[in-house]
Structure 1
């Protein structure tokens, strides 16, 4: 089965759910948002949403951090 993940073609051999894909590529499902074929997949549906041949998946990673100083300016 051929799918596209974040613009990159990927071949997978077994049918997978969104959760299965995340495990396959080593991502924690608690820190991502998923779009499948231009539709946001609710986190509650990751385990029941099957990926099909030709699907386009976009994965957005959330990374903690930042500066709590409201007067902070980039480059300073």
Structure 2
């Protein structure tokens, strides 16, 4: 089981951060991910596999730049 934004989430099988985000319709270009207390660079999303006990905070960017 992992925790995402404070909610417990069960995974049926090992998946990468990128796969988890895609399955949950996150728009990669509009989010930042903190994993176990550290910012996870976007370039690593496909290389990092989620494991039992991991904690993710997914933050969405809202608004526009002027």
Fold agreement, TM-score > 0.5: yes
Aligned residue in 2 for 1:23: 22
In structure 1, runs of 5+ residues without a counterpart are 69-76
Aligned residue in 1 for 2:52: 53
Please give the root-mean-square deviation of Cα atoms over the aligned residues, in Å. Answer: 1.4
1-side partners of 2:9 and 2:30: how far apart? Answer: 21
Aligned residues: 66
Aligned residue in 2 for 1:4: 3
TM-score (norm 1): 0.79
Residue 12 of structure 1, CA deviation: 1.1
Higher relative contact order (CA 8 A, sep 6+): 2
Give the ranges of 4+ consecutive aligned residues of structure 1 lying more than 6 Å apart after TM superposition.
Answer: none
Residue 65 of structure 1, CA deviation: 3.5
Compare CA radii of gyration and give the structure with the larger one: 1
Residue 14 of structure 1, CA deviation: 1.4
